[in-house]
Amino acid sequence: MATTTTNPKIIGNQSLTQFDVLIVGSGAGASATANVLTAAGKKVLMLEAGVNGYRNLDNSDWSKVSTNFSNDELKLLFRNYIMPHQEIEPRTYRQNESAGDRTYTGEVNSMPKTVGGAAVHADVKTPRFAPNDFKLGTLLGPIADANFADWPWTYDDLEPFYSYVEKAIGVQGLDGSDPFAGPRSSTYPMPPGVPMYAGQLISDGAKKLGYHPFPYPTAVTSRPYKGRPACNDCGFCGQYGCPIHAKCTPAVTLLRDALLTGNLQLQSETRAVKILTNASGTSVTGIQVIGPDGKLQTFTADRYVLGMSPIEDARLCFLSSTAGIGNSSGMVGRNLTFHFQTLAAGIWNQRVHGHRGRTVTHGISDFRGTPGDPNHPMGGVVEFGAPDNVIGEALDYFNQIGLIGDRLKASMRQSPLRDHLMVITMHAEDAPQVTNRVDLDPAVRDLDGLPVPRITYSNHKFELDARAFYGPKMVEILQMAGTQWAFVAPADPISISRHVFGTLRAGTDSTTSVCDATGKFHDLDNLYGTGSSLFPTSSGYNPYLTITTVGTHVGATMVSPDSPLSALPAA
Amino acid sequence: MPTKLPVIGVSRREFLELTALGAGVAVLPAGCASSGPTFLTGTERSTLAVLADHVLPQDKQPGGAALGVVDYIERLMTAFEFTPPRIFADGPFSNRNPYPAASGGVASTQYPADAFVNFLPLDRVQEAAWRLKLYGSVGVPGGGPNDAVLGPQKGMRDILRDGVAALHAAVPQGIGKLSSNDLELQLLHLADFRALMVQLTIEGCFCAPEYGGNKGGEGWQIAHFQGDTQPLGNTIYDPVLSDYRENPNFPVSTIDPGPDPEPLDDQTIALFTSIASSQAP
The alpha-carbon gap from A422 to the nearest alpha carbon of chain B, in Å, equals 14
The pLDDT tens digits of the residues spanning A74-109 come to 999 999 999 999 999 999 999 999 999 999 999 999
Residue-level pLDDT at A464: 96
Confidence of residue A318 (pLDDT cuts 50, 70, 90): very high
- Residue A279 CB: number of other CB atoms within 10 A? 7
Q: Say which range, A45-54, A289-298, B59-68, B103-112, has the weakest mean pLDDT.
A: B103-112
Contacts of B273 in chain A (CB under 8 A): 485
Contacts of A72 in chain B (CB under 8 A): 89, 91, 116, 208, 228
Q: Is A372 exposed, middle or buried (0-12, 13-18, 19+ CB in 10 A)?
A: exposed
Q: List the 216-255 stretch of B: residues with Cβ below 8 A of A.
A: 219-220, 222-237, 239, 242, 244, 246, 250-255
Full domain range(s) for residue B35: 12-250
CB contact under 8 A, A485 and B273: yes
Confidence of residue A482 (pLDDT cuts 50, 70, 90): very high
Contacts of B281 in chain A (CB under 8 A): 471-472, 475, 487-488
CB contact under 8 A, A79 and B231: no
Dist. CA B135–CA B124, nearest whole Å: 16
Contacts of A297 in chain B (CB under 8 A): none
Are A236 and A386 a contacting pair, CB within 8 Å? Answer: no
Q: Give the up-direction half-sphere exposure of residue B211: CA atoms within 13 A in the CB hemisphere.
A: 31
Dist. CA A228–CA A236, nearest whole Å: 18
Q: What is the mean pLDDT of residues A339-359?
A: 95
Residue-level pLDDT at B280: 62
Confidence of residue A6 (pLDDT cuts 50, 70, 90): low
Are A520 and A528 a contacting pair, CB within 8 Å? Answer: yes
End-to-end CA separation in angstroms for chain B: 53
Interface check for B179 against chain A (CB to CB < 8 A): the answer is no
* Residue A162, Ramachandran bin (φ over 0: left; ψ between -120 and 50: alpha; else beta): alpha
The pLDDT tens digits of the residues spanning A524-543 come to 999 999 999 999 999 999 99
Nearest to B228 among A72, A193, A394 (CB): A72
Residue-level pLDDT at B35: 63
* B158 within a domain of the structure (yes/no): yes
DSSP-derived secondary structure for A90-114: -EEEESSGGG-S-SEEE-SS----B
Nearest to A88 among B28, B145, B255 (CB): B145
Contacts of B275 in chain A (CB under 8 A): 401, 485, 487
How many percent of chain A have pLDDT more than 90? Answer: 97
Which residues are within 8 A (CB) of A374 and not within 5 positions of it... i.e. 6 or more apart?
Answer: none
Q: Which of A38, A544, A471, A525 is nearest to A250 (CA)?
A: A544
Low-confidence ranges of chain B (pLDDT < 50): 1-33
Distances (CA, A) of B179 to A39, A411, B176: 69, 21, 8
Q: Which of A516, A538, A537, A520 is nearest to A529 (CA)?
A: A520
Residue-level pLDDT at B14: 37
Which residues are within 8 A (CB) of B249 and not within 5 positions of it... i.e. 6 or more apart?
Answer: B10, B11, B12, B15, B257
Please, where are the H alpha helices in chain B?
A: 12-26, 32-35, 42-55, 69-77, 124-135, 147-150, 156-170, 180-187, 191-206, 218-222, 266-278
Which residues are within 8 A (CB) of A191 and not within 5 positions of it... i.e. 6 or more apart?
Answer: A172, A173, A174, A222, A223
Dist. CA B114–CA B136, nearest whole Å: 33
Are B145 and B45 a contacting pair, CB within 8 Å? Answer: no
Dist. CA A74–CA B202, nearest whole Å: 10
Domain count of the fold of chain B: 1
* B166 within a domain of the structure (yes/no): yes
Are A21 and A542 a contacting pair, CB within 8 Å? Answer: no
Are A49 and A271 a contacting pair, CB within 8 Å? Answer: yes
Strand A44-47 relative to strand A264-267, pairing: parallel
CB contact under 8 A, B206 and A70: no
Domain spans in chain A, listed from the N-terminal domain onward: 19-51+60-96+112-442+455-542
Contacts of A68 in chain B (CB under 8 A): 88, 90-92, 120
Residue A2: is its pLDDT beyond 80? Answer: no
Nearest to A391 among B130, B202, B269 (CB): B202
Q: Quote ipTM for the complex.
A: 0.96
CB contact under 8 A, B237 and A229: yes
Confidence of residue A495 (pLDDT cuts 50, 70, 90): confident
CB contact under 8 A, A88 and B222: no
Nearest to B225 among A347, A390, A443 (CB): A390
Residue-level pLDDT at A494: 87
Tell me, what amino acid is at B22?
G
Pick A19-51+60-96+112-442+455-542's CATH classification: 3.40.50.300, 3.40.1280.10, 3.90.1520.10, 3.50.50.60.
Answer: 3.50.50.60
Residue-level pLDDT at A49: 98
Give strand pairing partners of A561: none
Are A421 and A481 a contacting pair, CB within 8 Å? Answer: no
Nearest to A414 among B92, B225, B265 (CB): B265
CB contact under 8 A, B91 and A68: yes
Give CB contacts under 8 A, 24+ apart, made by A149-152: A149/A335, A149/A432, A149/A505, A149/A507, A149/A512, A149/A513, A149/A536, A149/A537, A150/A507, A150/A536, A151/A506, A151/A507, A151/A535, A151/A536, A151/A537, A152/A506, A152/A507, A152/A508, A152/A516, A152/A517, A152/A536
Nearest to A2 among B117, B261, B281 (CB): B117
- Residue B242 CB: number of other CB atoms within 10 A? 9
Nearest to B234 among A80, A232, A347 (CB): A232
The DSSP secondary-structure symbol of A275 reads E
How many percent of chain A have pLDDT more than 70? Answer: 99
Which residues are within 8 A (CB) of A150 and not within 5 positions of it... i.e. 6 or more apart?
Answer: A134, A135, A136, A137, A138, A507, A536
Catalogue the E-assigned strands of A183-248: 214-215
Q: What are phi and psi of A118, to 5 degrees?
A: -65, -25
Interface test with A, best of B78, B124, B201 (most A CBs within 10 A): B124
Q: Is A450 exposed, middle or buried (0-12, 13-18, 19+ CB in 10 A)?
A: middle
Q: What is the mean pLDDT of residues A403-418?
A: 98
* Helix, coil or strand: residue A27: coil
* B151 within a domain of the structure (yes/no): yes
Contacts of A475 in chain B (CB under 8 A): 281
Q: Which of A531, A520, A514 is nearest to A557 (CA)?
A: A520
Give CB contacts under 8 A, 24+ apart, made by A138-143: A139/A371, A139/A372, A140/A371, A140/A372, A140/A378, A141/A372, A143/A431, A143/A462
CB contact under 8 A, A472 and B250: no
End-to-end CA separation in angstroms for chain A: 44
Dist. CA A230–CA A136, nearest whole Å: 38
* B279 within a domain of the structure (yes/no): no
* B46 within a domain of the structure (yes/no): yes
Distances (CA, A) of B131 to B85, B160, B162: 10, 15, 18
Are A289 and B124 a contacting pair, CB within 8 Å? Answer: no
